[in-house]
Chains A and B, each alone.
Chain A
Amino acid sequence: MKFMERPKPEWPTVRRTAFLLALFCVVSCSDDDPTSKWRVFADERSDGKDEAEVAGVLRYATDDRCFTLEDNLGSGDQAFAIVWPAGTEGLAGERAGVRVPGVGEVLAGEVLEGGGGYYTLEEGDEPATGLSGCVAVGEEYVSVDTISSHSS
């Protein structure tokens, strides 16, 4: 059952812009750059965090160079593009994975557990976030704030 939602209050432009600009590619993530191996997005905001549970298997797709979290919470298996904690960088070399400050290397195929929040990519958000190509407008992505465990 779906309903039309009443119009949302407008966000002040300055705060919304700052929020979106805080989500950016750490590693070269332009589709124009054929040399970049994987696209890694990190949230450089550091004043707070969301406390939804986040868990699943880290996957990497070679065609679009995006990491996704194959969510295993609840009955509906879904895959979400990932925005990583501040300071996260893609690994050099051939292994698909990232290095998360305070956590270490997290590799594709590992099971992640932690916390964060789920957001829907809205029309007009893509240029600021750079997420286009990894998540479509209207789809959810997950912003991981903390990783409590990861294992293969």
Chain B
Amino acid sequence: MPITLRLVDDVQSSDHRVYGGAVLSTCTSGFGVRRYIGHDLVYGLSTAGHCRNDQDYGDRNVLDFVGEHQGDWGDAQWHTSSEQISDDFYNSTEDTRRDTAAVGHAVVGQYLCRYGKTTGRRCDNVYSRNHCNNSKCRLSIMDTNEAQDGDSGGPWYWGDTAYGIHQGELFYFGAKDTFTPVTHLDEALGLEVLTEPGPKPK
């Protein structure tokens, strides 16, 4: 029986997933999210609203912009993907990931960690809540500023609990990191954070 071999340029693995805390074109991804659109439950990946709408995931062009909010409820946007949306997020430069098991509302003084593509993993205490950074409001701010350009959208977390997505820097009694509480994603964009992975794409 003759066998025909065909060379292909690229092999797409059906096991590819997209995660929070990953490298995007201009930012870092936050957490897996979902919302109902009509009767359909649609899964996606969050980042900061001020990130460019057109984003690659690493070197993969697998994200489609859906919507963004930069206003009263913070600074967030989300994208659907041709790959499975994971509920895990990267939390270190050693490629380790955490499973998102819960969503929390941070209180003043609470110790949280953040992961971003530029500065990696940094931790700090919540300084205050409900601040505006220019047009973006209801943000929480940390004691200091450690994030840098490219970290926007990355996850703020403690253990396996999601608390926020990184926003930027606010000068309020010194420079301070800011984040959009994930509990505001519902009001901002109708989103909830995933604690289970999304379905595999058909």
Contacts and interface: CB of A to CB of B under 8 A. Distances in A.
Interface string B127-146: 00000111101000000000
Contacts of B171: 46-48
A122 B25 CA distance: 24
Interface string B176-201: 00100000000111100000000000
Interface residues of B, number: 52
Contact of B25 (A8, A73, A140, A148): A73
Nearest to A148: B149
A46 B172 CA distance: 11
B149 A114 contact: yes
A16 B137 CA distance: 11
B134 A52 contact: no
Contacts of A12: 72
A50 B135 contact: no
B86 interface: no
By size class, the interface of chain A is 35 or more
A109 interface: no
B135 A19 contact: yes
A5 B148 contact: no
B151 A51 contact: yes
B27 A53 contact: yes
Contact of A53 (B72, B150, B172, B190): B150
A83 to B, nearest CB: 12
Q: Which 6 A-B pairs have the closest CB atoms?
A: A115-B149, A117-B50, A74-B25, A48-B133, A48-B170, A5-B67
Interface of A: 1-6, 8-12, 15-16, 19, 22, 45-54, 71, 73-76, 78, 114-120, 140, 142, 146, 148
Interface of B: 24-27, 37, 42, 48, 50-56, 59, 61, 64, 66-73, 75, 80, 118, 132-135, 137, 147-153, 166-172, 178, 187-190
